[in-house]
Amino acid sequence: MRIALAGAGAFGEKHLDGLKTIDGVEIVSIISRTAEQAAAVAAKYSAKHSSTELEDALARDDVDAVILCTPTQMHAAQAIACMAAGKHVQVEIPLADSWAEAEAVLKMQQSTGLVCMVGHTRRFNPSHQYVHNRITAGDFTVQQMDVQTYFFRRKNMNAKGQPRSWTDHLLWHHAAHTVDLFAYQAGPIVKANAIEGPHHPELGIAMDMSIQLKAASGAICTLSLSFNNDGPLGTFFRYIGDTATYIARYDDLVDGKENPIDVSGVAVSMNGIELQDREFIAAIREGREPNSSVAQVLPCYKVLHDLEQQF
C-alpha cells in the first residue's frame, strides 16, 4: 500500500509514525506548505517524493491512497480531488466546515466507490473502544456524557508551538469529535442546542462554547469547549451509565473513582492514530467500508450545521 501524506505538520507526523508500524505500507510522497519542510519530512520517513502541491502526488501512478492533514478549509475540496484522481483518501477531522461541502464529498465517494474515511479518532482510541465493546455486548448503556474540550489558543499556534497558517474552530473541528462519538455510543442525535461566547477580536472565532445533545435512546451529552483555558489541556470524557462510570482521556481509561482500567488488550496498539490508519489500510485491502467512513460520519456534520444556525 503506497501512501502520500499532505500536511506534514504536528498531526501529519503522528500519522507517519503510525504508518511505519503497519506491514506492507510505503510512504511515497510528502506534501507540505513549504518545499523545505516537505523535503525534510520526506527524508525523515524515507519518502521518495516531496512537493508543495497535492496535484503532484495525485499524478503519480505509485500512489494508491492519500492521507490529508491539511487546514480544515481545504479538506472537502482536496478529498474530492483525491477521489477524482482514483485515489483512496483519509481526510483528517473535520471532513468539512459546511454541510454542503460534506454532502459533496459523500456524493463523490458514492460515484467512485473508493474508500473515503474521516479521521474521527475517538472511535479508535482504546479507551472509547472498550466502552463501545461493553455497549454492543449489552453490558453498559450510556445515560449521560459530560465532556470538556479545553485548549489555550489565543494565537494561531499548532501542537508544536509553531505558527499556524489557518484558524482552528471549536464547532467544526473540536465539537465534531464529541458529536460523532456521542452518536456512536448512544445512538442517533435527535436534539441539539448551542450557545457561544465572545469572538476573539483578531481570530474572528468564538473562544468558548457550550453544547447540549440528546440521543433517540434518551441519553444526553453536555459539551464545554474553550480556547481560553490555561490548563489542563485536551478533551476529557465522563461516561455515566446504568452499570458504571468511566472517564476517558485519549487512549487511557479509568473508572469513576479514578482506578485505572487496563485497555491494552482492546486492540493491537494503544495508539488511536495508528489504529485509525490500520483501519484505513485494511478497508482498502479488503474492499470494504471502513469504520468512520464518510457515510457513517455524515450525520455529525448535519448536527454541526444545525448548531451553527443557532448562533
Portions of the chain given CATH number 3.30.360.10:
125-266
156 pLDDT tier (thresholds 50, 70, 90): low
C-alpha 102/C-alpha 112 separation (Å) is: 16
- Per-residue pLDDT reduced to its tens digit, 114-137: 999 999 999 999 999 999 999 999
Tracing cell 483519509 back to the chain, one arrives at 90
Q: Which helix (H) or strand (E) holds 144?
A: strand 142-150
C-alpha 166/C-alpha 69 separation (Å) is: 12
- Per-residue pLDDT reduced to its tens digit, 9-57: 889 999 999 999 999 999 999 999 999 999 999 999 999 999 999 999 9
Q: Provide the pLDDT for residue 168.
A: 79
pLDDT reading at 159 higher than 80: no
- Quick one: cell of 127? 479507551
To the question of domain 2-120+273-293 being in CATH 3.40.50.720, the answer is yes
5 CB neighbour count, 10 Å cutoff? 29
299: exposed, middle or buried (C-beta count within 10 Å: 0-12, 13-18, 19+)?
middle
Exposed e or buried b per residue across 217-230, where buried means at least 16 C-beta atoms within 10 angstroms of its C-beta: eebbbebebbbebe
Coil/strand/helix, residue 36: helix
pLDDT reading at 139 higher than 70: yes
Q: Provide the pLDDT for residue 161.
A: 66
Which residues, 6 or more positions from 122, have their beta carbon under 8 angstroms from its beta carbon?
A: 128, 177, 178, 180, 181, 184, 237, 272
Portions of the chain given CATH number 3.40.50.720:
2-120+273-293
103 CB neighbour count, 10 Å cutoff? 17
Give alpha helix (H) positions in 187-293. Answer: 272-286
174 pLDDT tier (thresholds 50, 70, 90): very high
- Per-residue pLDDT reduced to its tens digit, 73-106: 999 999 999 999 999 999 999 999 999 999 999 9
What percent of the chain is predicted at pLDDT more than 70? Answer: 96
The CATH homologous superfamily for domain 125-266 is Dihydrodipicolinate Reductase; domain 2 (3.30.360.10)
Q: E strands along 199-297, which residues?
A: 208-215, 220-226, 234-241, 245-249, 252-255
Task: Name the β-bridge partners of 90.
Answer: 67, 117
**Mean of the pLDDT values across residues 107-118?**
98
